[in-house]
Structure 1
Amino acid sequence: MPENSFSAATADSVIQAAYEAVEVQREAVKEFPGKAPGLVRALQALGDAQRDAGDNAAAESSYREALEAGKDLELPADVMANVRTSLATLLDFTGREAESLSYYEEAISNHEALGGDNLEVAAQLRNNLAMTYKCMDKFALAEQHYLRALETLENKRGRSSESVACVFNNLGSLYYAAGFPDQAKEMFEDGLQIRIEVLGENHRDVAQSLCNLATACHELRDNSAAQQHFEKSLGILEQQLPYEARSYETIGTDYIAMLEIIGEDAKADALKRRMEKLLSAV
């Protein structure tokens, strides 16, 4: 059997088993209403299986039914938190960001009330929510959630962690988009230093941070620093071809555009030729 057919058959089997579990729980709730948490969990498992199979409409329906089944019931806090998280991320990642907002807010509140490891889950959800607000040009709300996420992650993991570096990078992107390149540069520098410490100087994420920092420096008209950061970024990615060909091409194209803007046409042409040669080889 071809691999894709095997995967499809496996997904169908998982979904069918999840359907059957839901029906069992439906019958149990009819007789014993106190078993409602089992139905909610079964519906979420079904929604997860449908989402993994690419049937987002069916997954959304299952998640919403789970929320309805748990409505007005005193369920364990983690049960409803997980369903709201699943629905929020589904709506967000399928282009319905505005609809995801209330579910994100409720899920964050649920996870923070649970405490412990759930605080990190809440922080990651705040990061997602902040990105959504940024896309909606609601910069103040985005900043608020990024800063809350950063505070939680620093308290839980310490400053030297990739998750903290990621939020610094996102904050930098927010400040850049909002027209504050000085603050953006500061955030990009913080994120870069953490990534170098955690991941090493030659990691692809370090290259991305260098590119972000280069962009902020260019906006601040520090083109000498911008060129240094771009060249270091490309140097890292060149060593990781062909695996990082896409990132190399994207960052190289950004650097060429900057060089042309500042009148470094000869340097831009030389980089174009070098990139074409390297990319044609991979």
Structure 2
Amino acid sequence: MSASLSSFSNLLDNHAAKLLSEGRLEEALNAATSALSGLREAVEDDPAEAPRLFAGLQVLADIQREMGDVSGSEASYGEALEISGRATIPPVEVARVRTQLATLLDFSQREAEAIPLYEQAISDYEALTPPSEETAAQLRNNLAMIYKGLGKFALAEQHYLRSLETLEAKRGRETEEVASVYNNLGSLYYTAGFPDQAKQMFTEALEIRTQLLGGDHPDVAQSHCNLATANHELGDNAASIQNFEHSLRILEHHLHDEVVSYEAVSLDYIALLENQGEDKKAAAARKRMEKMLATVA
């Protein structure tokens, strides 16, 4: 392949990336496909062109992903990773492609296939100079969610705690990312049958979210709801009712955006009241829920 044609393919690849950033997906796909045709020819003539083909496949896979073409995106990321095994590719770019493929499979309900990709991507980012510890911590959070779903609670806890340690060290305690990991840890402990530890984690998340977001935010409502479930499991139904009511007051202020959460929390609250024999209060809560839901029907 001539140098001029190789350069043209590179220009097409850059153009495809620009179109992708602008949301012009069909045009981006056409440009990336054209670029790859030239890049494949270039690699046949000169294997040293492999890094350009890697980059072109990365762009194509990103476009396919945005267009909802999961199988196409998976194939393109996979081919890029195969190239990285026989060509010198910047480690950070390999880590990025491996992460993209892991999340693609994860969000496609193919969690078991995503696990080794997440684990390798974490190692990749931690091996960079300097290490990309925050990115690795975020991937540990994703991986922990998978392990939790598979019932591998000890592994999930291990990754959540490593993620929390890194994020607190790098960003400080009062960040939304740290609050999210505390919340996820609480959910893990609750699912694993440790409501005391769950309550501690949910309380940490609530304190951080309240400080960061104020008392009238949907994430704060979520934390109150989570605390309600933990308190109920611990037999402290008075505290549970209080948390449910606090959560519902917040969600009512954001009803148009949080209608599904509002209904779910309301039904849990009503069920608790009925379980406690507070039938009149439960009936009043149901009536209020129906009235509020009618305003957004």
Residue 138 of structure 1 is matched in structure 2 by 152
Call closer, same or farther: CA 1:235–1:115 in 2, change over 3 Å.
farther
SS at 1:242 equivalent: coil
Structure-1 separation of matches of 2:59 and 2:272: 49
Q: Which moved more, 1:103-112 or 1:31-40?
A: 31-40
- Cα distance per residue 1:160-212 (max 9 Å; x no partner): 00000000000000000000000000000001000001111111100001100
The one-letter code of the counterpart of 2:181 is V
Quick one: which of 264, 271, 277 aligns to 1:257? 271
Runs of 4+ residues deviating >3 angstroms: none
How many residues end up aligned between the 2 structures? 274
1:129 to 103, 120, 143: 143
1:32 Cα deviation after fit: 3.0
Task: Give the CA deviation at 1:136.
Answer: 0.2
Of 124, 144, 149, the residue aligned with 1:110 is 124
Which of 14, 20, 26 in structure 2 is aligned with 1:12? 26
Q: 1:45-104 deviations in whole A, cap 9, x for unaligned?
A: 111111111110111111111111111333211111011101101111101110111000
- CA RMSD of the aligned region, Å? 1.5
Contact 1:215 1:226 in 2 (8 A): yes
CA contact (8 A) 1:40 1:79 kept: no
Task: Give the match for residue 270 of structure 1.
Answer: 284
Between the aligned partners of 2:117 and 2:79, the Cα distance in structure 1 is 14
Correspondence for 2:179 among 165, 176, 179 = 165
For residues 162 and 48 of structure 2, the distance between their equivalents in structure 1, rounded to whole angstroms, comes to 36
Q: 1:34 matched to which residue of 2? A: 48
TM-score (ref. length: structure 2): 0.89
Task: Give the Cα–Cα distance (whole angstroms) in 2 for the partners of residues 254 and 51 of structure 1.
Answer: 37
Are residue 234 (structure 1) and residue 248 (structure 2) matched?
A: yes
Q: Distance in 2 between matches of 1:162 and 1:255?
A: 27
Task: Report the CA distance between 1:117 and its aligned residue.
Answer: 7.7
How far 1:273 sits from its partner (Å)?
A: 0.3
Measure the CA separation in 2 of the matches of 1:171 and 1:49. 34
State which of 99, 102, 109 in structure 2 corresponds to 1:88: 102
CA distance in 1, matches of 2:256, 2:114: 37
C-alpha distance in structure 1 between counterparts of 2:111 and 2:28, whole Å = 29
TM-score (norm 1): 0.93
**What secondary structure does 2:220 align onto?**
helix
Structure 2 residue 168 is the aligned partner of structure 1 residue 154: yes
The residue aligned with 2:11 is none
Alpha-carbon distance in structure 2 between the residues aligned to 1:267 and 1:51? 49
1:46 and 2:96 matched = no
Greater mean alpha carbon deviation, residues 9-18 or residues 83-92:
9-18
Aligned position for 1:77? 91
Contact 2:144/2:160 (CA < 8 Å) preserved in 1? yes
Shift of 1:257: 1.9
Q: Per the alignment, in what secondary structure is the counterpart of residue 84 of structure 1?
A: helix
1:115 Cα deviation after fit: 5.4
Residue equivalent to 2:35: 21
- Ranges in structure 2 where 5+ consecutive residues have no aligned partner: 1-22
Aligned-partner SS, 1:95: coil
| Bigger Rg, structure 1 or 2 | 2
What residue number does 2:239 align with?
Answer: 225
1:3: which partner in 2? none
For residue 177 of structure 1, give the secondary structure of its aligned residue in structure 2: helix
Q: Structure 1, unaligned stretches of length 5 or more?
A: 1-8
Partner residue of 2:202 out of 174, 188, 195: 188
Counterpart contact for 1:188–1:212, Cα < 8 Å? yes
Deviation at 1:256, TM superposition (A): 1.4
**In structure 1, C-alpha distance between the alignment counterparts of 2:286 and 2:49, rounded to whole Å:** 65
**1:42 Cα shift?**
1.3
Does the CA contact (< 8 Å) of 2:51 and 2:88 recur in 1? no
Preserved CA contact (<8 Å) 1:37 1:79: no
